[in-house]
């Protein structure tokens, strides 16, 4: 398991699920004011993934996978 704040590997598949650590990193950086576009490039995911991750966290208050 990666520690908090580590870069998401480039070999992550297109439909692979983000780890809770990756979600937490996205959320903390987004709250710190990092733009979705910049986060998407850094994490190698789409801007929509950044948006969905942040929305799910705001509505469910968890970074764990939902059923």
Residue 15 maps to a domain: no
The tokens for 5 are 């704040």
Q: Is-contact 55 47, C-beta < 8 A?
A: no
CA–CA distance, 62 with 2 (Å, rounded to integer) = 18
pLDDT value at position 66? 83
Q: For the chain, what is the domain count?
A: 1
CA–CA distance, 50 with 25 (Å, rounded to integer) = 11
Taking only the tens of pLDDT, the chain with its 67 residues reads 556 666 666 555 566 889 999 999 999 999 999 999 999 999 999 999 999 999 999 999 999 988 8
Domain extent, residue 55, equals 20-60
CA–CA distance, 61 with 63 (Å, rounded to integer) = 7
Residue 3 maps to a domain: no
CA–CA distance, 54 with 39 (Å, rounded to integer) = 12
Residue 47 maps to a domain: yes
Residue written as tokens 């929509």?
A: 48
């Amino acid at each position: 398991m990666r520690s908090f704040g580590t870069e998401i590997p480039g070999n992550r598949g297109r439909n692979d699920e983000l780890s809770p650590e990756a979600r937490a990193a996205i959320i903390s950086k987004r709250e710190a004011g990092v733009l979705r576009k910049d986060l998407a490039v850094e994490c190698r995911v789409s801007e929509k993934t950044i948006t969905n991750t942040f929305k799910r966290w705001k509505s469910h208050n968890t970074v764990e996978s939902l059923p």
